[in-house]
Amino acid sequence: MKEVKIERALTYIEPGPVTLVTSFDGVRNNVMTISWTMAIDFDGHIVITTGGWNHSFSVIMETGECVVCIPPAEMAETVVDIGMVSGADIDKFSVFPVTALPAKTVKAPLIAECIACLECKVTDYIDDYGFIVLKVQRVVVNENAADKRMLHAVGDGTFVADGEKFNLRERMKAKLPPNL
Amino acid sequence: MKEVKIERALTYIEPGPVTLVTSFDGVRNNVMTISWTMAIDFDGHIVITTGGWNHSFSVIMETGECVVCIPPAEMAETVVDIGMVSGADIDKFSVFPVTALPAKTVKAPLIAECIACLECKVTDYIDDYGFIVLKVQRVVVNENAADKRMLHAVGDGTFVADGEKFNLRERMKAKLPPNL
């Protein structure tokens, strides 16, 4: 995993991929699947929507941190399987093919198999909607990932991988965020 | 455009596409490009992030409604061009290749060239973050769209179209929302 500048965090969330969000409760690592996420500024703030029904939720709120990881499309089955069980019942890192690596700014782990991981601290919580507002502290990318296609959850049990790319940087140069 | 059940709204937002959001100020239709969106429940609520710098913002807040449309990947250049200018200066529906069609539950228009359009009413606004919470009132889809690939904004001036599809409905059947 290689550290890249924090402004790149946006480019891993804005495209709308399904994510694997890790946490650490002081004893065990945990991970949940979340696809309700949103970029909200150019300063590294993002939002994830979840709630008390998720075992990870209380850990993230208590520790004030998590890592938002972006799995490649080839991990689709693992992403679903992780979302089907609770970390209250099993140790997901020992059951599923995900490898925890140490983060630098938080105690929650990176996931070695992911395209990128965003180390995050909780800055706010909007209870009415279950919005956890996060500030990205550090961005690491996996330059050796064999599959760099993000995976998008359709919401009905189907998923779509990234396909054709379009470079329209020249066309929107005047509105691109600085440093990107 | 064909109406489909409201539960399908989720499947057009959760994958994280860039959207074209229309509004009507009483005189003129307008449209803005928004990619900071999020599904937030299974009941048709979604969020878009914007703010006072957008001409459309005040119209949406005053009228309490808008239409969130999903453009196909082949509209990438138009999507960028719409985002580069303000509706305060020009009539975007007369300048760009987008065709307004009447919606049923709101005065803001559908866009004929889009894959799907979600007619929405504003139910809340979270000023700290510019979150406009919307309740989808009606979902219409364009069954004749030649290109049904969604377009995802990476945030750095590049875009990615939907590619390979994965059907994992059997694997996650126990957690699929009803009616999907």
Residue B40 has its nearest CB partner, among A73, A129, A151, at A129
Q: In chain B, which residues have their Cβ closer than 8 Å to the Cβ of A83?
A: 172, 175
Token pair belonging to A108: 């929650």
Residue B178 touches partner A, C-beta closer than 8 Å: no
**Identity of the residue in B13, B151, B167 whose CB atom sits nearest the CB atom of A158:** B167
CB contact under 8 A, A172 and B83: yes
Q: Given an 8 Å threshold on Cβ–Cβ distance, is A157 in contact with B173? A: yes
What is the pLDDT averaged over residues B73-90?
96
Q: Do A162 and B173 touch (CB under 8 A)?
A: no
Structure tokens at A64: 């004030």
Q: Which residues of B touch A153 (CB under 8 A)?
A: 14-15
Name the residue in chain A with its Cα closest to that of B37: A38
Entry pTM: 0.97
Determine the pLDDT at residue A15. Answer: 98
Q: Which residue has the tokens 């409905």?
A: B169
Predicted confidence band at B96 (pLDDT cuts at 50, 70, 90)? Answer: very high
Q: How many whole angstroms separate alpha carbon B50 and alpha carbon B129?
A: 8
The per-residue pLDDT for range B122-156, each reduced to its tens digit, is 999 999 999 999 999 999 999 999 999 999 999 99
- pLDDT number for residue B179: 77
Contact B14 A158 (CB under 8 A): no
Inform me whether the pLDDT recorded for B178 exceeds 80. Answer: no
Cβ separation A160–B150 shorter than 8 A: yes
SS (H, E, C) A123-155: EEEECCCCEEEEEEEEEEECCCCCCCCEEEECC
- For chain A, helix, strand, coil in percent to 5 are 20, 40, 40
Cβ(A110)–Cβ(A117) below 8 Å: yes
**Contact between A172 and B80 using a beta-carbon 8 Å cutoff:** yes
* DSSP, res A82: H
φ/ψ of A38, rounded to 5, equals -160, 135
Closest residue to B154, CB basis, from A11, A154, A175: A11
Q: What is the pLDDT of residues B21-67, one digit of tens each?
A: 999 999 999 999 999 999 999 999 999 999 888 899 999 999 999 99
| Amino acid letter, A103 | A
Q: Cα A125 from chain centroid? A: 17
Query: Is the CB of residue B67 less than 8 Å from the CB of residue B22?
Result: yes
Q: What is the pLDDT of residue A47?
A: 98
**A84 shares contact with chain B (CB less than 8 Å):** yes
pLDDT at B180: 80
User: Residue A38: its chain B contacts at CB < 8 A?
Assistant: 36-38, 47, 49
The parts of chain A modelled with pLDDT lower than 70 are none
Measure CB to CB from residue B14 to each of A84, A155, A177 and give the nearest one.
A155
- Which pLDDT value is given to residue B53? 84
Position A179 scores a pLDDT of: 77
Q: How far apart are CA A100 and CA A110, in angstroms?
A: 6
- B71 and A CB contact within 8 Å: no
Question: Residue B10's pLDDT band (boundaries 50, 70, 90)?
Answer: very high
- B166 and A172: CB-CB below 8 Å? no
User: What number of C-beta contacts closer than 8 Å exist between A and B?
Assistant: 197
d(CA A151, CA B151) in angstroms, rounded, equals 13
Chain B stretch 106-125, residues whose beta carbon is closer than 8 A to a beta carbon of chain A: 124
Is B36 touching A (CB cutoff 8 A)? yes
Question: Measured between beta carbons, which residues in chain A are less than 8 angstroms from residue B15?
Answer: 16, 152-155, 160
